[in-house]
């Protein structure tokens, strides 16, 4: 598997996401994901499964140094002291002395100044508890603000990204600052597997529409994709995207699927004013 290098972080281009996975599901499927070869694991304080992620990694026998582990600070922990304490709590649950990437989960939902949030992120990084810092669900202007306020480089912005959502402005902002974009909701809430174009392209390559969508993401420069499933068969399918490549014409055709109403994730009070 290739990695995306962004501001010093070497992030495996395909990650295993644990959003909306129960504790039992994590304990059942994450060990299988690790056996198959996943080495980038994404969780968050708000997911309620950090402890199970940590236990699965511990029992896997895979050296901690071989795993790229991401978690996120929830919006009610953005005050300086609360953020520091929350990171210590996450590390205890994850059974590790550091995470490779720590993100601010949403830009909204808190009145804590962005400078305070970034200051605390920089502090835990300087203390060695976090290797790299990043953001999630920020619009392009907020990305610029985060870069300006942070002493350490921002590694990534984790956002919704799939064939039906144009993220050109986010990608351009990321590339200006050496950042990556980490894509979640790659299956567009179940829309991808039944898409006629994606299935047509998949048939040409002997793949599935889901594999084509994931390949489309990771084949773009500076893009990391998160996959998620609780099914072992789908797990193997999601991982098998590095043995084929899409043509320039196929990449463009998939990009043309984007629509103005393509966004799925837009929680009131947490989400920013998105880029047009």
- Round to whole Å and give the CA distance between 5 and 16: 18
* 47 catalytically annotated: yes
Distance of CA 17 to the CA centre of its chain: 7
3-class SS at 169? Answer: helix
Give the CA-trace dihedral at 1, 69, 232, 14, to 10 degrees: -30
- Round to whole Å and give the CA distance between 99 and 80: 18
- Round to whole Å and give the CA distance between 235 and 238: 5
Helix (H) or strand (E) holding 133: strand 130-136
Helices (H), the chain: 23-36, 50-60, 80-94, 114-126, 140-149, 168-176, 196-205, 209-218, 232-239, 248-255
Task: Provide the sign of the torsion angle of the four alpha carbons 105, 218, 32, 70, taken in this order.
Answer: negative
CB 239 within 8 A of CB 213: no
Give the residue from 181, 231, 162 showing the smallest Cα distance to 21: 231
CB 217 within 8 A of CB 183: yes
Q: Check 47, 78, 161, 185 and give the catalytic one.
A: 47
- Round to whole Å and give the CA distance between 191 and 214: 13
**Active site residue ranges:** 47
């Amino acid at each position: 598997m290739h990695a995306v290098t962004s501001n010093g972080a070497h992030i495996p281009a395909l990650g295993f996401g644990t959003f909306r996975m129960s504790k039992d599901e994590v304990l059942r499927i994450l060990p299988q994901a690790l056996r198959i070869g996943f080495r980038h694991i994404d969780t968050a304080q708000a997911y309620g499964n950090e402890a199970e992620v940590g236990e699965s990694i511990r029992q896997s026998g895979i050296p901690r140094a071989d795993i790229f582990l991401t978690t996120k600070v929830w919006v009610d922990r953005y005050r300086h002291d609360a953020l520091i304490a929350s990171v210590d709590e996450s590390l205890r649950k994850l059974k590790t002395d550091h995470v490779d990437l720590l993100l601010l989960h949403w830009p909204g939902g808190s009145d804590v100044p962005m400078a305070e949030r970034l200051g605390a992120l920089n502090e835990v990084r300087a203390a060695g508890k976090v290797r790299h810092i990043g953001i999630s669900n920020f619009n392009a202007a907020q990305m610029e603000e985060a870069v300006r306020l942070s002493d350490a480089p921002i590694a990534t912005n984790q956002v919704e990204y799939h064939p039906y959502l144009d993220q050109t402005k986010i990608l351009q902002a990321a590339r200006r600052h050496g950042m990556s974009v980490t894509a979640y909701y790659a299956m567009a809430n179940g829309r991808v597997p039944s898409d006629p174009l994606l299935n047509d392209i998949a048939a040409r390559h002997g793949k599935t529409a889901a594999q084509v969508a994931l390949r489309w993401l990771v084949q773009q420069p500076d893009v990391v994709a998160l996959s998620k499933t609780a099914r072992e068969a789908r797990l193997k399918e999601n991982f098998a995207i590095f043995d084929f490549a899409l043509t320039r014409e196929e990449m463009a055709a998939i990009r043309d699927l984007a629509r103005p109403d393509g966004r799925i994730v837009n929680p009131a009070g947490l989400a920013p004013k998105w880029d047009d």
